[in-house]
């Protein structure tokens, strides 16, 4: 309630609404039973979180831990921190041998794993193969993100970025634009993607982390084109307007709390 605009008319909090002057005795038994049923249903229902803004244009954060999008935003720092202190030591020499199999009584060299089943492009993934090799390749991920923003599927594109690892997010964003063999239309579509989600005001922390990575990767190209430069300025004004409105609402809450509690604080 404190985030809503100030009321135009005074609110009489001392008056009881819905009573005929009989006080608490005027509450019917059916209302009490209905209230108890609502309490029981509230206890049974599990708490749920939502990333949909409660009010239009009210910034709403995502439902992921901040460590995830911070690791995506500061990937270089994470890589430097996780770098090995010393190079890995070579493994001790193992005896060299070739696998053999018996064809009747004649020993023959055994075929590599998967060769007999037609290993190749159409072969099934090996059980011990890393996950990033079993799934789509890195280049295919970049192409998928390009296709989504080209088709103006901005919600699907954001869902795709949220499902990637920090390295996958950087790769998908860096695969856009002329430096990656594309066109400026991809960068324009990327700006439209972020403008679309800024207007929805949801997932504010993740969207702004992805926007920061996008501007770091393609800032020079965007500033070199007059059209994309204007769009970047529009995004900056939209961001400033959203955070300014939120800052005013928070200052309003601070003033109300200070008045109600008769305290003074400096933030």
Q: What is the pLDDT of residue 259?
A: 82
Task: Please answer whether residues 210 and 173 qualify as being in contact, where contact means their C-beta atoms are separated by less than 8 angstroms.
Answer: yes
Tokens of 244: 């300014």
Mean pLDDT, the chain cut into blocks of 10 residues (267 residues total): 64 53 47 54 55 74 88 89 79 64 71 53 46 51 84 93 92 90 91 93 92 93 92 92 86 85 63
Give the span between the Cα atoms of 166 and 178, in whole angstroms.
23
The per-residue pLDDT for 20 is 46
Position 87 scores a pLDDT of 78
Per-residue pLDDT, 234: 92
CA-only gyration radius of the chain, Å: 30
Q: What's the longest Cα–Cα distance across the chain?
A: 106
pLDDT for the residue numbered 27? 45
- Residue-level pLDDT at 157: 94
What does DSSP assign to residue 126? P
pLDDT of residue 172: 93
Alpha-carbon span 202 to 155, nearest angstrom: 11
What's the pLDDT at 229? 92
Residue 93's pLDDT is 66
């Amino acid at each position: 309630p404190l985030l809503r605009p100030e009321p135009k008319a005074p609110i009489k909090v001392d008056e009881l609404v819905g009573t005929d002057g009989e006080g608490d005795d005027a509450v019917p038994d059916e209302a009490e039973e209905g209230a108890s049923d609502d309490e029981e249903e509230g206890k049974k229902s599990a708490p749920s979180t939502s990333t949909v803004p409660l009010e239009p244009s009210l910034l709403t954060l995502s439902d992921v831990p901040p460590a995830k999008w911070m690791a995506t935003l500061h990937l270089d720092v994470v890589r430097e921190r996780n770098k090995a202190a010393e190079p890995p030591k070579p493994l001790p020499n193992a005896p060299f041998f070739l696998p053999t199999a018996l064809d009747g009584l004649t020993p023959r060299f055994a075929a590599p794993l998967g060769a007999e089943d037609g290993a190749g492009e159409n072969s099934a993934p090996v059980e011990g193969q890393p996950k990033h090799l079993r799934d789509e390749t890195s280049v295919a991920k970049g192409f998928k993100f390009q296709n989504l923003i080209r088709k103006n599927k901005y919600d699907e594109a954001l869902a795709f970025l949220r499902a990637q690892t920090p390295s996958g997010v950087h790769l998908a964003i860096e695969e856009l634009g002329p430096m990656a063999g594309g066109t400026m239309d991809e960068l324009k579509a990327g700006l439209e993607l972020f403008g679309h989600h800024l207007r929805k005001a949801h997932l504010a922390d993740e969207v702004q982390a992805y926007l920061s990575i996008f501007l770091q990767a393609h800032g020079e190209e965007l500033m070199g084109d007059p059209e994309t430069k204007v769009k970047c300025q529009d995004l900056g004004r939209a961001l400033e307007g959203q955070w300014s409105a939120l800052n005013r609402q928070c200052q309003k809450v601070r003033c109300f709390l200070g008045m109600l509690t008769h305290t003074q604080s400096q933030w």
